[in-house]
Amino acid sequence: MNATTKPLILVCVVLATCATSSVRADFTFGEPVDLRTVVPELDGTADGVSCLSFDGLEMYIDSQRPGGYGDWDFWVLRRPSEDADWGPPENLGVPINSPKEDSSFSISADGLSAYFSSNRLGGYGSFDIYIVTRPTTTDPWGSPVNVGSQINGSAADTAPSVSPDGLELHFVSWRTGGYGDGDIYVARRETTTDLWGKPANPSR
């Protein structure tokens, strides 16, 4: 998969950060269920699930469904409680969506900030990572801000995922110095008000 390839299946990805060197799973997963049987509003060929909010009340998707602003757009489905049905997808609109590809939404634990990747004009490379914020979880998202040259470079930087404590940002980059095609990198910071440190390849 290259920086612009999109999966045609509905996928939820969970990033787990462990404090120990060994991991043990004391549980068993059930049988996979086609998400469209639970959320019939989703389109199996046009939609990809980026993330759920930590309270379980918002589902963010990347979509090429009609009614968007360009290539891949962000849409959100909402529900009033975790046992309620999901509402219809709503396009997040501009300026968060652009005429270019906007994908891989990753929301913070408090629901007030989110990271995503885009090849919109004005970046450092073919794909850059951006951040959006909002004052409360009921407010609309503000204007995207490029996270800067400490994270983004001339190569594609995509698929950001912020840790629940907000102190680690994992992403995929095609920068030189990796092991192959796109490698996973992590940037860290001491507090959520600090700037991100220099990204490191965890295997180096």
pLDDT digits (tens, 9 = 90+) for 140-170: 999 999 999 999 999 999 999 999 999 999 9
For residue 204, being part of any structural domain is answered with: no
Q: Which amino acid is at 192?
A: T
For residue 9, being part of any structural domain is answered with: no
**What pLDDT sits at residue 29?**
87
For residue 193, being part of any structural domain is answered with: no
Q: Which amino acid is at 109?
A: A
Task: Grade residue 11 by pLDDT with cuts at 50, 70 and 90.
Answer: very low
For residue 194, being part of any structural domain is answered with: no
Q: β-pairing, 58-63 with 73-78? A: antiparallel
**What pLDDT sits at residue 50?**
95
Task: Grade residue 34 by pLDDT with cuts at 50, 70 and 90.
Answer: confident
For residue 184, being part of any structural domain is answered with: yes
pLDDT at 6 over 90: no
pLDDT at 16 over 50: no
Range of the domain at 120: 35-188
170-190 pLDDT per residue, tens: 999 999 988 888 999 999 999
Cβ-proximal residues to 151 (8 Å cutoff; 6+ apart), any chain: 129, 157, 169, 171, 187, 196, 199
Task: Grade residue 9 by pLDDT with cuts at 50, 70 and 90.
Answer: very low
State the total domains in the chain. Answer: 1
For residue 66, being part of any structural domain is answered with: yes
64-105 pLDDT per residue, tens: 999 999 899 999 999 999 999 999 999 999 999 999 999 999
For residue 203, being part of any structural domain is answered with: no
Cβ-proximal residues to 14 (8 Å cutoff; 6+ apart), any chain: none
For residue 56, being part of any structural domain is answered with: yes
CATH number, domain of 163, equals 2.120.10.30
35-66 pLDDT per residue, tens: 888 898 898 888 999 999 999 999 999 999 99
Q: Which long-range contacts (CB under 8 A, 24 or more apart) does 132-137 make?
A: 132/96, 136/112, 137/53, 137/55, 137/111, 137/112
